[in-house]
Structure 1
């Protein structure tokens, strides 16, 4: 059984309030924008995602990042998982990402996490994303028990949960 209904159509453009930023599915072609965003915020991102995902490694190359984005693009097309890039209106800067994944741990039907680049921590853009994501998930995604990693549950508590029976 799939984690999403067969007829589910994922959103392809999600505006943030204010109209200057939006989310869209990440693509391999985003690597020139994604790599500097990730590596420029790598130390902070490692403190958030490193213990759970082992990402982003200090040694990650541009080519490894590009391969990772290609994997995400293929997973999105297959509805296996979703990675949305946070972009400025002209798509000249990647400013963060939102991950929507099947549950790895029991007690949820979807697991959601997100981040912004260091320069946007504490900013109006980060606050808008923090407000948007739970509302967007409730309105546009078919989850009954979404789990917001690092938000509704700490990463430490999430790591301690039992594995999801389908994971």
Structure 2
């Protein structure tokens, strides 16, 4: 039933080469850093994720974000899906996220997407993340056909694909 092997152990800390930043699984306790990161980049994030996920809504409250992060934390614990937050070295700023999800659409065994806050668009940190994610997925995750949403396939094209079936 699981989309990952039973013995799979997910990474708990992933350094971002050359930047002093790192990825780690997001937790409910990260809400004070996540909420301003998301809402500060909300308009751009909506253009990426809005049509597919309806996120982040303009009316999203701190409490709604906190509930979302608790859900993510619980999903990570049972390997239903993964949300890795991008942090500075001291974890004083959340600067983006990487989502690793079971496939919703046919033709992949994992669906991966990521974003950075507006201030980091076109920065060296974003470039490092763009380079890291596909390499990290290939090296540390058990996917044979990962799909990189918004990268190798547009979100609009992804929405037209048939739904994934476990048949």
TM-score (norm 2): 0.99
* Alpha-carbon RMSD: 0.9
Structure 1: runs of 5+ lacking an equivalent: none
Q: 1:127 — aligned with what? A: 127
Residues 59-96 of structure 1 show CA distances to partners (whole Å, capped at 9, x for unaligned) of 00000000000000000000000000000000000000
Alignment partner of 2:106: what SS? coil
| Partner Cα separation in structure 1 for residue 103 and residue 9 of structure 2 | 19
| Partner Cα separation in structure 2 for residue 69 and residue 84 of structure 1 | 11
**Would the aligned equivalents of 2:75 and 2:81 in 1 still touch at CA under 8 Å?**
yes
Structure 2: runs of 5+ lacking an equivalent: none
Equivalent residues in 2 for 1:1-167 (5 A)? Answer: 1-166=1-166
**Would the aligned equivalents of 2:19 and 2:125 in 1 still touch at CA under 8 Å?**
no
TM-score (norm 1): 0.99
Residues 20-68 of structure 1 show CA distances to partners (whole Å, capped at 9, x for unaligned) of 1000000000000000000000000000000000000000000000000
| Partner Cα separation in structure 2 for residue 112 and residue 96 of structure 1 | 14
| Partner Cα separation in structure 2 for residue 119 and residue 162 of structure 1 | 35
**Would the aligned equivalents of 2:46 and 2:55 in 1 still touch at CA under 8 Å?**
yes
| CA positional deviation for 1:117 | 0.0
Residues 82-139 of structure 1 show CA distances to partners (whole Å, capped at 9, x for unaligned) of 0000000000000000000000000000000000000000000000000000000000
| CA positional deviation for 1:19 | 4.5
* Length, aligned pairs only: 167
